[in-house]
A and B are shown apart, each in its own frame.
Chain A
Amino acid sequence: MNKTLSKAGGVIAALLANPVLAETATKIDQYQLNLTKGVTDISADVYDLHMLMFLICVVIGVGVFAVMFWSMWFHRKSKGAKPANFHESVKVEIAWTVIPFIILIAMAIPAAKTLIAMEDASEPEVTILVTGSQWKWNYKYMDNDIEFFSNLATQSEQISGKLPKGENYLLEVDRPLVIPTGKKVRFLVTSDDVIHAWWVPDFAVKQDANPGFINDAWANVNEPGVYRGQCAELCGKDHGFMPIVVIAKEPADYAIWVNEQETIQKQAKAEEQRLLAMNMSMDELMSNGEKVYMANCAACHMPNGEGLPGVFPALKGSQIAIADQPKHIDIMINGVAGSAMQPYAKQLTMSDIAAVVTYERNAWGNNTGDMVQAKDINVAMNGQ
């Protein structure tokens, strides 16, 4: 990259931008004007390329407009300008066809270089499968036994304005992705339903998540920190509410985190097995079920169970919720193809699924009196 150009770009950016720009990335900058430099070598290259293109465009624009405004000022009829007679000039016309062409080639070369570097996904040290679904991300570490969902953590009261909005409003999740610094991390990106796009500006990574297909992207993060992004492809109702948070840790800290997570996930599985043997009371099921319902189901089926007519079905009075219990459990576990209803077997524990099914069969006047226990869920999931 041309040093002087990018330096000049920096000067312009500094002139345009608010001085706050220089401060830490996490601090909210209300007047950020420019692209982030990011925290990878690639994102820095992309930034330089962006500034180079921007400057070339500014120079061209200023040049053309200067000529135009010159003639608007000096060649006006009110100043007695008499129209000239020329209306073509082969030389000039060839010149302004060829010169832009040369400028374009000058632009294309550094762009091609950066692109080829970006697309070289060989020899990754960590591979993570990123799966988008309406409207959350799932992260699965291919080299370790770690898998989890990452949901929006902003309270709905903040969105509706009942509570003041926090610093990271809409850019915070319950479980962020953790990656090591200084290592090539490969992201395999796919989707469970519609097309999403996984975008972290600080890594200059934006990759569409196509259902049934995998794409890849990678990042080698230089500095530890918290990096935030969002889904970038319209994916339905809550497209604006599926952020991405990535925490980059030093390799040693990362190793500790991985161990911790593996232990936690193992323990959780053991705990789930233990709970299988236990029967819960109706009260326990209902109160736990309500909690799970509000956190996972109410966004679509609404807190009153009435759904959104024509978009999300009502549970209140639904045949499945008051009669067909095996189907009810099946839908909870496996989801419904071609709808926003996801398989919750991966997202919730068996006892939570049991509780929420019980809740849905007894709330809002669905009073079936049915009780579903974790072991029923286990049978449905894993066979007899």
Chain B
Amino acid sequence: MSVSSGQSQNSKLVMKLVFAVIGMFGFGFALVPLYDVLCDLTGINGKTSDTAAVYESVLIDESRLITVDFITRTNTGMPWKFSAQTRRVKVHPGQMSQVDFTAMNPTGRDIVGQAVPSVSPGPAAIYMNKTECFCFEQQTLKAGEKVVMPMKFYVDPQLPKDITYFTVQYTLYDVTPEGQDVAMNRR
């Protein structure tokens, strides 16, 4: 064997390994969408879908009554008053219901808010179908403004029998773009 063939053998293998390294670096980032897909499929961490479901006239399962609790929270730094007008509903799977949430901006500035839902126990999340929700998009409230935000949902009749009770939490975050309101003392 000649010098060059030994060297080229090395460099071929090195190239392959370098590609593997780059590939794995990419894979690290690919885990982000992969994780979301996995969450959608299994409800890990109680994430609900962030797009509206279409209500097809599903059979209402009268034999079961599911209790759904609503919790509202505001994140640190978010001055809105945020509450659910109904804290608890009992629904049959497949039955449409509506819960109204109120939000009020007590400050003297405009604020953009984003509500992030979470369901517990997690596996119930994928059966929580929302046809209309304020959490699908950002909400802007002018200084002193107060709004009622409806949320319409139905529980998929496929919900496993052992889940009779679940909790939906909405956390409101202040997502006002920086500059509009210079972030408070991030020093």
Interface positions of A (Cβ within 8 A of B): 119-124, 127, 129, 131, 133, 142, 188, 190, 192-193, 210-216, 313, 318, 320, 326-327, 330-331, 333-339, 341-343, 380-384
Contact = CB atoms under 8 A, between A and B. Distances in A.
Nearest to A320: B185
Contacts of B81: 382
Interface string B89-122: 0000000000000001111100000001011111
Interface residues of B, number: 40
A17 to B, nearest CB: 37
Contacts of A119: 121
Contact of A337 (B76, B118, B162): B76
Contacts, number: 108
28 contacts: A119-B121, A121-B165, A122-B164, A142-B87, A188-B169, A190-B118, A192-B76, A193-B76, A212-B118, A212-B171, A213-B169, A214-B71, A216-B167, A320-B184, A330-B107, A331-B185, A335-B76, A337-B76, A338-B76, A338-B77, A343-B74, A343-B76, A380-B106, A381-B106, A382-B81, A383-B106, A383-B144, A384-B144
Nearest to B104: A383
A380 B80 CA distance: 11
Contacts of B78: 334, 337
A193 B76 CA distance: 8
A337 B174 contact: yes
Contact of A120 (B75, B77, B122, B162): B162
Nearest to B119: A214
A335 B187 contact: no
A214 B120 CA distance: 6
Contacts of B73: 131, 190
Interface of B: 45-47, 69, 71, 73-79, 81, 87, 104-108, 116, 118-122, 144, 162-165, 167, 169, 171, 173-174, 183-187
A188 B167 contact: yes
A213 B118 contact: yes
Nearest to B161: A122
A334 B79 contact: yes
B71 A336 contact: no
Contacts of B45: 210, 213
Contacts of B79: 330, 333-334, 381
A292 B187 CA distance: 24
B41 to A, nearest CB: 17
B106 A188 contact: no
Contacts of A212: 75, 116, 118, 171
A141 to B, nearest CB: 12
Contacts of B107: 330, 380, 383
Contacts of B164: 122-123
A336 B165 CA distance: 34
The 3 lowest CB-CB distance pairs between A and B, nearest first, are A337-B77, A383-B106, A335-B76
Contacts of A327: 184
A123 B67 CA distance: 9
A364 to B, nearest CB: 17
Given A131-B73, A341-B76, 11 more contacts: A129-B71, A133-B76, A188-B120, A190-B171, A213-B169, A214-B119, A216-B120, A313-B185, A337-B76, A338-B186, A343-B77
A23 to B, nearest CB: 38
B22 to A, nearest CB: 31
Nearest to A382: B106
Contacts of A326: 108
Contacts of B121: 119, 121, 216
A350 to B, nearest CB: 13
B71 A335 contact: no
Nearest to B105: A383
B118 A214 contact: yes
B46 A214 contact: yes
B120 A336 contact: no
